Chains A and B, each alone.
Chain A
């Protein structure tokens, strides 16, 4: 073996290797199995994801870098890998019936879902700009194809083209920023960048690089003003993919953001990039502005939406704003708040999308608000689940969404950003209007409009049950998640600690 590698590298890379091998297996099975056996593929995919989850066990509690320092196996990476695998598994579970209805061939679909997951895992684990970028690219390219996988559907095609063109452009910005960082430090490794950059290095180049990085990642997390693609793509993509995009892709991009900024540029959080109006500022200031604008625009735009997928797209933009608050706060507590929020958000968002997936039936697309009419009368279980998800997204106790918001706003106040927390709370109040609007639609029933009852497939029911259980459980007993997130945040590079509570 060449220097820098050892067999333990492969031991710790097992989750990624399992996903890779699984993806190839799915692709091979797709062409080997007869058409009638197609349904097996979804179970194989779930099995692969579970296998990767098992392979993740040895990584727990580790804190080391492997493969010539390119990939970190630390609590931070493990936290996100758990999130990605859970999101991927739930996405696959809610897919089969939807794919049959949309006439999508499942082989490529599951293959690409696994590829996207693989990319995400490297975005969480990478501690080198190149590794992070390749992870991002693997994920993004898979998502471009997945978005347009309903081939005869014009909305799906339009979404894919928009996502691809804008995505490629934003990746260009990101790469430009990375190349300047490399130019300034002579290294692509985040630890070297963190230790060798000092304030004033490169004059205006460093602020410029930070701006490019913020813009590039801002696009991926759909932060205003880089959010314009999100509603169109979320609406056009197959619904399970919309769910995966809004949870997995967003979480992975946040992981990358945290790695690059908190672990790679820790000295420039509060100052060091220059002065504006006599005040020194750092990258925290960029995210402060982004957080405020993202929350406000996301929530206001969501108020008038008539399409559930568009509405949830704007709501997911707003949630990116809340998560950014944790990053502005910057302390270990702020980062762990962002992690907690991402995990909670994953469950409630996937749950809400599972209900939208369920509404898709023959001849009914089921993504308009009026398609929810009378859901309580026909499917009380699903309606109550949706009610819980909406309350949780709105941040009402005792649901998990409340705990997430509480933790994020608490971290902001703790770090002295009181106004940011106030704006966040005001925004949550605004958001309640459109979440409750969805609930109202489910409870009103107009007999003549009520469509025939539709069956809920056991797989989608499982997704609903899991997400519902987690949304309630994490609201009542969030302790385990908090501890997990705090340990993970502490393992992230050299986070300046402001004292834990």
Chain B
């Protein structure tokens, strides 16, 4: 039974070896001429300005959480859509119920002003 894991093991070894080889080889052959600008932390090519440890508005998190909820909802709907043929009307009703529960939550968040940037 354990032998079925051998290909995975080989795969892990090759992946690790490839990564290690690339890093070591690049170190060996590359020319290194560091200067102050090169050693700065990389921030999308733009010059770094200010401290990274800043305070964010709590609204970022609200929006992010709402996004995740509805994102997961969509993810959930893909496998459902694929197997809808088998699930038939039962599956359709189940999904409608699931959506209804989410819509109540959405309605609640909306009315509470979670979607407004400024209160």
Partner-B contacts on A (CB < 8 A) = 1-2, 5, 20, 24, 27-28, 30-31
Contacts and interface: CB of A to CB of B under 8 A. Distances in A.
B107 interface: yes
Contacts of A20: 101
Interface residues of B, number: 11
Interface string B80-111: 00000011001100000000010011011001
Contact of B90 (A1, A27, A31): A1
Nearest to A107: B108
A27 B87 contact: no
Nearest to B91: A2
A28 B108 contact: yes
Contacts of B111: 31
B112 A31 contact: yes
Given A1-B90, A2-B87, A2-B90, A27 B112 contact: no
Q: Is the interface of B mostly helix, strand, loop or mixed?
A: helix
Nearest to B90: A1
Nearest to A5: B90
Contact of B104 (A2, A5, A24): A24
Given A5-B90, A31-B111, 7 more contacts: A1-B90, A2-B86, A2-B87, A27-B105, A28-B104, A28-B107, A30-B108
Contacts of B105: 27
Interface of B: 86-87, 90-91, 101, 104-105, 107-108, 111-112
| Shortest Cβ-Cβ A-B pairs, 3 listed | A31-B111, A24-B104, A1-B90
Nearest to A20: B101
Nearest to B89: A1
Which of A20, A30, A31 has the most C-beta atoms of chain B within 10 angstroms of its own C-beta? A31
Contact of B107 (A2, A5, A31): A31
Contacts of B104: 24, 27-28
16 contacts: A1-B90, A2-B86, A2-B87, A2-B91, A24-B101, A24-B104, A27-B104, A27-B105, A28-B104, A28-B107, A28-B108, A30-B108, A31-B107, A31-B108, A31-B111, A31-B112
B105 to A, nearest CB: 7
A1 B112 CA distance: 38
Contacts of B107: 28, 31
Nearest to B94: A2
Of A5, A20, A24, A30, the most chain B CB neighbours within 10 A belong to A24
Contacts of A27: 104-105, 108
